[in-house]
Structure 1
Amino acid sequence: MKKFAAFSLTLMMVISLAACAGNSEPAETNSPDVESSVVDETSASESSAAESEPGTEASQPDETETEAEGTKVLVAYFSATGTTEGVAEHIANGLNADIYEIVPEEPYTDADLNYNDNNSRTTIEMNDPSARPAISGSVDNMDQYDIVFLGYPIWWGEAPRIVSTFMESYDFSGKTIVPFCTSGGSGVGSSATNLEQLTSGANWLEGRRLNGRDSQDTVMEWVNSLGLSLGE
């Protein structure tokens, strides 16, 4: 009987110990080191996938297409006293055009510009249709321009001879030339026609006399009335 009781007690203790072991918490398998490793591996996997997917990397633009160039405009002018220069600047600023000053190698002095002196330089030049005063410098790549505004003062009813030098220095074939002048009262007259004869294959528009005191708005009102194709 005692042996049976001892056996029963032992059996109960074994069952009790087994139950306690079953209720204990499992060991942590998600330690910080393990988490970190999982995150790193996941990020690396996602990064690798992103790199392998088409379109995820910045691509270089296709350079097979080029932008169409707009109309190129040059404003060329000669100005001995600064009057024509002001008008030329109005046109260049209004059109965002390039500007070129026709500068004589030998600058004109006040004595040279004395119209009342028959022996002054300008008097001698204007009395000689073949006179061609030398120009300092030149236009870079004249070929690139489609339209040339040509400005000058009126001397003895004509454009100064240095403007003839300029016209004979370049090939204006296929270009549109728009003459404009400044003077105390004389209009363009035959000055533009005479200059046109020095060129070949250019399209000359009718010129206009402008006042050195004209505002940019006034000057651009005339420019805009010409109907030029100035789209960029």
Structure 2
Amino acid sequence: MKRLLPRIMPLLLVAVQAGALAEERDWLTYRKLIEASRLDKFHALPAAERDKLDMYIHLEPADKTLNLRDVALTVVHGATRTPLPIDADGNLRLVPNAQWLAEDARILTNQPKQSKVSMGPALNAIVPAGTQWRYEALMGSISQSNAAIGKMAGALSMFAPTIRSVILKFDGPAQLTIQSKAGAKQYATDGKQQIRLKPDAALVKENPPMVLTSRPREAELDSE
């Protein structure tokens, strides 16, 4: 997961209490959640300009004993209640709901006040299907992410982070082979079970197949 720089995509500090969960209370409005995370700007981009990107909201409790899997966030719209799913890594994936934005629907949480949780947008590359794909299917996420970040940052685009590599993260040792015309390029996971790839102009033009021994669980976009 790659978090976008706070000065471009500001984090919210949301009051929550580590410890026993409480009765529901107001958390944020749905509009504030979507606008602060820039998900509205991301999904306003043409599909072809974001089809290689996975943008979501990441929640990070200040108290590491707080288990976000115990946290319930519920959108209240009219007489209807809709839960917002938070995964085990504290990530919340949403497609903006036009009706909820128009209503400025409320979001309720089951946590009392006091301590803090940071909340902000994060951006990954989408891992293509299977274990074999063309170079552009993965590495095209770098140019696409830089263009998207620039548009979302607007007037502050000069301060926006520049994505320079993709880090493939595996659950165990793995190998990757790029089958180019100039010869096979082979990569193996490091001690963290990761493979870092930087775009190669010749490979971008050729768009050769990439073959992996196992499927990565994540493709993090990185500014290094």
| Class of the TM-score when normalised by the shorter of the 2 chains | under 0.3
Structure ID, larger Rg = 1
User: As a proportion of its length, which structure holds more helix?
Assistant: 1
Q: TM-score, normalised by structure 2?
A: 0.23
The structure, 1 or 2, with the larger RCO (C-alpha pairs under 8 Å, 6+ apart) is 2
User: As a proportion of its length, which structure holds more strand?
Assistant: 2
